[in-house]
Amino acid sequence: MAAYYAWAQNLLPFQWAQYSFMLNALLAVFLVSPLFGILGTMVVNNKMAFFSDAIGHSALTGIAIGVLLGMRDPLAAMLAFSVLLAIGISLVKAHGKSSPDTVIGVFSSTAVALGIVILSRGGGFARYSNFLIGDLLSITVQEILMLLIVLIIVLLFWARFFNQLLLVSVNPSLAGSRGIKVLYIEIIFSVIMAIVVTISIQWVGILIINSLLILPAAAARNIAGNMRQYHVIAVLIAIISGLTGLILSYYWGTATGATIVLCASLFYVLTLWGYAKFN
């Protein structure tokens, strides 16, 4: 990292480039943004915005479980609970009689309520309010390495299973007739999304994590002509929003995650305007 700090401080003509926490956040943006851009395309395609929101809010219960187990860092408990929740929702959706949004709503509301009840005992909820907003500027070198590993795993998964994922999202019945294990693919994707969302919550915040996942893909869908363009534009919008939001939050003194989401929202408005004007 010392070489990266020296390179960035010499190359970037900005005052904020002299601070290691800003350079860490800058590197994190280049890792988190592609993750959200790529996953967001399939979330929007599969109409899973409510699902990803449920995973984000279930982090409260993961934190609560970590507190009950006496963990200093509740990330492991958050990951375990979000993965179990993702698998549970996928299985109940596949085998239950209720509609998908009803199943997700039941799991989400129960998980959020349980987390709040446990964390609010004795008035202790305020100690965990930082998870609601997130703090990208607090990211460490070890956490950046973890993000890099997750990004590599997601890229490998995308390269191996993209065609199956796309067919499952378009027509599950056709995918099943082609020998694709629909439930298996859905569970793997749900688990990967749960891991990415849960890991990112501490830097982005529970309240806006879903927005950062949905907005770049939704904006890209307004102007993309094919699937390749869809992915490329979504990743570019995510990266540009991340960089712009990070820099603006430094000068404005605002929450970084929320500022990034506002930038992504602006992209959505612009692409929506462009779509309406030229179609």
SS3 per-residue string spanning the chain: CHHHHHHHHHHCCCHHHHCHHHHHHHHHHHHHHHHHHHHHHHHHHCCCHHHHHHHHHCHHHHHHHHHHCCCCCCHHHHHHHHHHHHHHHHHHHHHCCCCHHHHHHHHHHHHHHHHHHHHCHHHCHHHHCHHHHCCHHHCCHHHHHHHHHHHHHHHHHHHHHHHHHHHHHHCHHHHHHCCCCHHHHHHHHHHHHHHHHHHHHHHHCCCCHHHHHHHHHHHHHHHCCCHHHHHHHHHHHHHHHHHHHHHHHHHHCCCHHHHHHHHHHHHHHHHHHHHHHHC
Please give the model's pTM, rounded to 2 decimal places.
0.90
Instruction: Give 231-270 pLDDT, tens digit per residue.
Output: 999 999 999 999 999 999 999 999 999 999 999 999 999 9
pLDDT grade, residue 48 (50/70/90)? confident
Predicted local distance difference test score (pLDDT) of residue 5: 82
Domains in the chain (CATH in brackets) are 20-207 (1.10.3470.10)
Instruction: Give 182-204 pLDDT, tens digit per residue.
Output: 889 989 999 999 999 999 988 88
Residue 205 has pLDDT above 90, yes or no: no
Decide which of 86 and 124 is more confident.
86
